[in-house]
């Protein structure tokens, strides 16, 4: 769980301190816009995703959980807005600081986790439809969702219960929350959370997305032109834009900040730039919470703007799409063993989440 602070380290504190006066207004404006736009957007998305028609989709559990995480994240923003608007002065006490601060960062990585699951789910649905249909019957999406929540809880609870996460007032004028930590606290308590964030919040998810998105794009481009193909391509573009604008810059600055805190980077001028970059990307990562509802409505808007929805199908023979007529399997679950193996099925390109 990464943190930021105005003094760099034991080595650099005496000769170098970093400031970013623009951060107070920048955080306030950015978080306010995310709150104003994201709260109604996610409320509408949750209402639509929880309708009976949508609950029948096994993969819809990822979209519902992502929307819940975004909504909860947005509800925490008023605390951060007030904190930054008053010059990074926390007035709500130690326990609220621990809870809101830990949950603030936890929601970022929960969003990344469910975002990765959605990408992997769409990859399996299009590139490996036979495997996808079997996984649908085993409630794999629900199991994976529960595992993600358990892992997150196991990481967050020790952080909240482990002691104060704020600093004492500086000359009686300012109380920081989730920053201005001592070097000892950084090295012995916070470093493991930063390592976990870099590995499981950056390296693993971006590796998964980097592998599945190109394969998914190639398979989609082989399909004949249709509303489904347009929807699929728009979803891929949306995923890439959010990753490049929100998540990638955030974790690049996170890595640089981590190196700075370990005294690998000690140059004062470079430390100043890293600190400013860190503040900007920390605000921008929150923007994904008000952008994600667009992902849910891409199929609906595409159908309204182009053509009436039609349940188009394409044939999958030995894992490859084909337009030739073939036997049709109507049940998504595996058939009795005496009817297997099945090499040809007819499957719909299920890109709609609404």
Percent of the chain with pLDDT over 90: 19
Backbone φ and ψ of 212, nearest 5°: -80, -35
Question: Averaged over 269-291, what is the pLDDT?
Answer: 90
> Smallest Cα–Cα separation from 248: which of 290, 186, 201, 310?
201
State yes or no: cis peptide before 341, omega within 30 of 0. Answer: yes
> What are the pLDDT digits (tens) for 258-271?
888 777 888 888 88
Please compute, for residue 198, the number of CA atoms within 13 A of its CA located in the half-sphere on the CB side.
16
Residue 21 sits at φ, ψ, to 5 deg, of: -65, -25
Strand ranges (DSSP E) for 25-173? none
pLDDT of the residue at 343 = 39
Q: How far apart are CA 24 and CA 59, in angstroms?
A: 40
Alpha carbons within 13 A on the beta-carbon side of 255: 10
Task: Please give the order of strands across the beta sheet that includes 344-348.
Answer: 320-322, 313-317, 344-348
Return d(Cα 86, Cα 24) in angstroms, integer.
8
pLDDT for the residue numbered 226: 58
**Furthest-apart CA atoms within the chain: distance in Å:** 79
Please give the model's pTM, rounded to 2 decimal places: 0.78
Question: Burial of 11 by CB count in 10 Å (0-12 exposed, 13-18 middle, 19+ buried)?
Answer: exposed
219 alpha-carbon distance from chain centroid: 25
Q: What are phi and psi of 22, to 5 degrees?
A: -70, -20
Of residues 228 and 36, more confidence is placed in 36
- pLDDT tens digits, one per residue of 321-354: 554 444 444 444 554 444 444 434 444 444 443 3
Closest alpha carbon to 260 in 319, 183, 350: 183
Angle of helix 60-85 relative to helix 288-306, nearest 10 degrees? 130
């Amino acid at each position: 769980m990464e943190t930021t602070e105005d003094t760099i380290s034991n080595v650099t504190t005496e000769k170098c301190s970093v400031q970013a006066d623009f951060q107070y207004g920048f955080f306030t404006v950015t978080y306010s816009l995310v709150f104003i736009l994201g709260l109604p957007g996610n409320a509408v998305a949750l209402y639509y995703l929880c309708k009976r028609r949508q609950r029948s989709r096994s993969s819809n559990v990822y979209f519902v959980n992502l929307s819940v995480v975004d909504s909860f994240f947005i509800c925490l923003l008023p605390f951060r807005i007030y904190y930054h608007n008053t010059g990074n002065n926390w007035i709500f006490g130690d326990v609220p600081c621990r809870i809101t601060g830990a949950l603030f960062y936890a929601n970022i990585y929960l969003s990344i986790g469910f975002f990765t699951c959605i990408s992997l789910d769409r990859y399996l649905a299009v590139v490996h439809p036979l495997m996808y249909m079997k996984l649908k019957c085993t409630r794999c999406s629900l199991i994976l969702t529960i595992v993600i929540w358990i892992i997150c809880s196991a990481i967050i609870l020790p952080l909240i219960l482990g002691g104060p996460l704020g600093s004492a007032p500086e000359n009686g004028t300012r109380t920081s929350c989730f920053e201005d930590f001592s070097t000892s606290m950084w090295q012995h308590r916070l470093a493991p959370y930063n390592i976990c964030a870099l590995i499981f919040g950056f390296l693993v998810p971006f590796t998964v997305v980097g592998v599945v998105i190109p394969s998914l794009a190639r398979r989609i481009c082989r399909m004949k032109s249709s509303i489904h193909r347009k929807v699929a391509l728009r979803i891929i573009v949306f995923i890439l834009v959010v990753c490049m604008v929100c998540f990638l810059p955030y974790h690049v600055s996170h890595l640089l900040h981590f190196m700075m805190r370990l005294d690998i980077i000690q140059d004062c001028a470079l430390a100043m730039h890293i600190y400013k970059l860190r503040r900007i990307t920390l605000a921008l990562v929150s923007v994904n919470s008000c952008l994600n509802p667009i992902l849910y409505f891409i199929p609906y808007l595409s159908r309204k703007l182009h053509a009436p929805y039609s349940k188009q199908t394409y044939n999958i023979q030995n894992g490859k799409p084909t337009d030739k007529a073939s036997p049709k399997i109507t049940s998504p679950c595996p058939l009795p063993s005496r009817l297997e193996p099945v090499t040809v099925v007819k499957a719909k390109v299920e890109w709609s989440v609404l």
